[in-house]
């Protein structure tokens, strides 16, 4: 057993470290949420905005999943779609796809985290990104095509651009994350 003085010191160090970790997680989540909300809102009416906004939002999701954890990333996965709905930034037919977009983002985060946490090697970050992007695209596109039976621009938005923007966002995070190792 530790003497009384040493045990109190150990608790104080642990408590201070725990608070720093929680503060860092809260700060990163707040910044990521702000980016995930502001970028789509600012670029909503930009031509081809999906290819700008998509990689940024996906990078935010991958970043938070990697750095802070799945729960915070899932929270952020819901926010951009809800803001897009509330602000009227989606074509009317795309509103029906919002639950699938949210589910796709969550599936991407969970797949990525599963691969990365299972293998614990940085090379698997790339595999995690690709696996997460593929799962996200399937979770979004298949219901849009076969359940909602959407066509035209909305079907296009929910197809291969989801895969491309997720991979781009994930690759950016993989390249940048080595500079921010915990």
72: which residues sit within 8 A by CB, 6+ positions away? 25, 28, 29, 32, 64
DSSP annotation of 159 = S
Q: Where are the domains of the chain?
A: 4-180
C-alpha to C-alpha distances, 161 to 51, 150, 168, nearest whole angstrom: 7, 16, 10
| CATH architecture, range 4-180 | Orthogonal Bundle (1.10)
| Contacts (Cβ under 8 Å, ≥6 apart) of 141 | 158, 159, 162
Name the burial class of residue 172, with classes exposed (0-12), middle (13-18) and buried (19+) by CB atoms within 10 angstroms of its CB: middle
- The structure tokens listed for 71 are 């729960």
pLDDT values of the chain reduced to their tens digit, one per residue, 182 residues: 556 666 556 555 555 555 566 788 888 888 888 888 888 778 776 667 889 999 999 999 999 999 999 999 999 999 888 887 887 777 788 899 999 999 999 999 999 999 999 887 777 899 999 999 999 999 999 999 999 999 998 899 999 999 999 999 999 999 998 787 75
Q: How many CB atoms are located within 10 Å of the residue 131 CB?
A: 18
**DSSP assignments along the chain, one per residue:** ---HHHHHHHHHHHHHHHHHHHHHHHHHHHHHHHHHHHHHHHTTTSTTTHHHHHHHHHHHHHHHHHHT-HHHHHHHHHHHHHHHHHHT-S-GGGGGGHHHHHHHHHHHHHHHHHHHHHH--THHHHHHHHHHHHHHHHHHHHHHHHTS---HHHHHHTSHHHHHHHHHHHHHHHHHHGGG--
Check residue 26 and give its pLDDT: 82
pLDDT tens, 116-167? 998 877 778 999 999 999 999 999 999 999 999 999 988 999 999 999 999 9
pLDDT computed for residue 55 by the predictor: 95
The dihedrals phi and psi of 121, each to the nearest 5 degrees, come to -125, 145
């Amino acid at each position: 057993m530790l003497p009384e003085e040493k045990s109190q010191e150990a608790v104080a160090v642990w408590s201070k470290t725990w608070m720093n970790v929680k503060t860092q997680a809260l700060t990163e989540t707040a910044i990521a949420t702000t980016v995930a909300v502001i970028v789509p809102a600012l670029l909503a009416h930009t031509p081809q905005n999906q290819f700008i906004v998509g990689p940024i939002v996906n990078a935010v999701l991958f970043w938070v999943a990697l750095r802070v954890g799945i729960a915070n990333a899932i929270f952020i996965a819901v926010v951009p779609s809800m803001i897009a709905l509330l602000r009227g930034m989606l074509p009317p037919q795309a509103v029906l796809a919002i639950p699938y977009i949210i589910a796709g983002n969550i599936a991407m985060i969970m797949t990525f985290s599963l691969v990365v946490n299972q293998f614990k090697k940085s090379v698997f970050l790339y595999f995690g990104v690709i696996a997460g992007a593929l799962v996200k695209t399937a979770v979004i596109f298949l219901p849009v095509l076969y359940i909602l039976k959407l066509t035209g621009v909305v079907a296009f938005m929910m197809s291969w651009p989801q895969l491309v923007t997720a991979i781009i966002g994930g690759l950016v995070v993989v390249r940048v994350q080595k500079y921010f190792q915990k």
